[in-house]
A and B are shown apart, each in its own frame.
Chain A
Amino acid sequence: MQLLRSLVAETFFLAPVVVLTPDQIGHLAEVATNEDFSMPVQDGQRVLFRATRLGDKYPTFDFLVDILGPDHDSRGVFFVQVKGTTRATQASPRIPIAVGADHFNRMVEAPVPTYLVGVDVNRRATYIVAAHRRRTARVSSITREFPLGSDAVKLALHDEVAEYWKANGRTLWNTRFWDV
């Protein structure tokens, strides 16, 4: 999968350097993130995620992502915010992105697991971190420790969200809109 990922990167992202608009950077970042979520793991044998773009009008998040069971049925969901950058350097262990504290804290307060994905659009590399605790300062960078193109990271992410929904899963509730 790593080889495939590098082939995709080579095919689509190592074009001559051009100046991108912020909208282009954002769009590239979202498309790269979607592509990484769509890529199966374990030599193509297991599809873990189904990412659905929420659209520009949806606040705070860019994707709702289902975690999938063996029959591709949804076992839970999480939200993702994507930030792209063209300023990342390979030498640095972190990639620079900018997320305001208020914005980040809105992610943290969502009642489901939430993650921030940073995308080095020049190298078509995506990295994920959890948005799990409030901050007083803005986020200015995230670690490269959790590349979303990695099978191991994807499997760990899938397990983490599955465990969340197993522990906090849907229970029967009393609805006022009873019918079927």
Chain B
Amino acid sequence: MSEAQAVLHLKSSGTEWVARRGAALAQMALVTTLELTIFENLRSKAYDYAVATEDGMFIRIRVEAYSSRLAGVERVECILELRWTLSADVVRQARASKAPVVLLVFDADTAHGRYVRLDVLPAPARGARSVVVSLPASNRVDPASLKCLVAELRGARRQPAGSSAA
């Protein structure tokens, strides 16, 4: 596989329907992860949804979308690593969040989605205005992977304080 197929840096298509379709796909992904209750965030732009598990854990969800057709990219699902540029403030806010923050990025044309946790990313450099995040092919959005992510986050939450340092 060539370098161009291994890594692709995407950007928002900037059109309303792409954003709207990204939201529709995100809602479908979250709703079909059946143990989640979804709340839309109307208050800030740092994240789009807060989802709650049955045992009361909250996860913040940010949604971004692009159009592979408008970007002229074929078989986006086969690209090993997608990259997405975010405002550094989004990452700073995620790192300061008490709840995990997950970014979902969807292709409006193929419905292919990937995720990455934002709250565990390294701190952006002082004065940085943007951050490039990596979305590996293994982080594909589907009910099974989202359930695994929720289980992983739930497990991390249940660990007693300081256990990771032991």
Contact = CB atoms under 8 A, between A and B. Distances in A.
A69 interface: no
B143 interface: yes
A40 B32 contact: no
A39 B27 CA distance: 14
Contact of B20 (A7, A15, A50): A50
Interface in A3-56: 4, 7-8, 11-13, 15, 18, 20, 24, 27-28, 31-32, 34-35, 38-40, 43-45, 47, 50
A28 B32 contact: yes
B20 A35 contact: no
Contacts of B144: 15
B39 interface: no
Contact of B24 (A7, A24, A38): A38
A4 B111 contact: yes
A47 B17 contact: yes
Given A20-B34, A72-B16, A35 B28 contact: yes
B17 A72 contact: yes
Nearest to B27: A31
B129 interface: no
A50 B32 contact: no
Given A8-B111, A39-B21, A34 B32 contact: no
Contact of B21 (A18, A28, A38, A72): A38
A144 B11 CA distance: 39
Given A12-B142, A15-B143, A35-B25, A27 B17 contact: no
A28 B111 CA distance: 17
Interface residues of A, number: 25
A24 B32 CA distance: 9
A34 B28 CA distance: 9
Contacts of A24: 31, 34
Contacts of A34: 24, 27
Interface in B99-116: 108-111
A39 B106 CA distance: 13
Nearest to B142: A11
B109 A15 contact: no
Nearest to A11: B142
A156 to B, nearest CB: 20
B28 A32 contact: yes
Interface in B1-42: 15-17, 20-21, 24-25, 27-29, 31-32, 34
19 contacts: A4-B110, A4-B111, A7-B110, A8-B111, A11-B111, A12-B143, A13-B32, A15-B143, A18-B34, A27-B31, A28-B31, A35-B24, A40-B17, A40-B21, A44-B69, A44-B108, A45-B69, A72-B15, A72-B17
Interface of B: 15-17, 20-21, 24-25, 27-29, 31-32, 34, 67, 69, 108-111, 142-144
Interface of A: 4, 7-8, 11-13, 15, 18, 20, 24, 27-28, 31-32, 34-35, 38-40, 43-45, 47, 50, 72
